[in-house]
Amino acid sequence: MDHVDFILQQWHRARPDLDVTAMGVIGRVGRLYLAYLRPMEKTFARFGLNAAKFDVMATLRRSGAPYQLSAGDLLKATMVASGTMTNRIDRLEADGLVSRTTNPSDSRSFLIALTPEGLALIDEVVEAHVQTQAALLDGLTAQEAEAFSALLSKALKAAGSS
């Protein structure tokens, strides 16, 4: 029995007329997110990063050489607000991990690129991050992890997200 079961039992006693199945699923997803987030944040902190900085750097890295995107493409890839992205880029630029240059195809926009130091760092961090994530799933078999991933994907689509 986990904490969510405890809450659901309370609701069953207090309001037996309610079907709280969805509450159980969503409650567990929320608690699981927090349980996964803490170790990942510790991994990022070991390298002087946080989840926000990692997100930008990882997005640039997985975009492929030359590891740069327009600010607009970076916004779409990370789904954060413009002001939030500007703040993240400013901090990463101050840390020497990204550079910002005028976009030659649109002088009103910028290209954000990993610096050589940023590329070396994200390659190191992403290896540690993948290890951390794998350790978080140690309690599941490969088949269970695959089924869990498929169910979560289905749930995301049902919720109107992807």
Per-residue pLDDT tens, the chain, 162 aa: give them: 889 999 999 999 999 999 999 999 999 999 999 999 999 999 999 999 999 999 999 999 999 999 999 988 998 888 788 888 999 999 999 999 999 999 888 888 889 999 999 999 999 999 999 999 999 999 999 999 999 999 999 999 998 876
User: Domain containing 5: what range?
Assistant: 1-46
Q: How many structural domains compose the chain?
A: 2
CA–CA separation, 3 and 39 (whole Å): 20
Q: Which residues contact 36 (CB under 8 A, 6 or more apart)?
A: 133, 136
Q: Report residue 47: phi and psi, to 5°.
A: -110, 10
Q: 108 and 150 share a domain?
A: yes
Q: Which of 31, 46, 61 is the last residue of a domain?
A: 46
Ramachandran category for residue 46: left, alpha or beta (phi over 0 → left; psi -120 to 50 → alpha):
alpha
Asked if 20 and 73 sit in the same domain, the reply is no
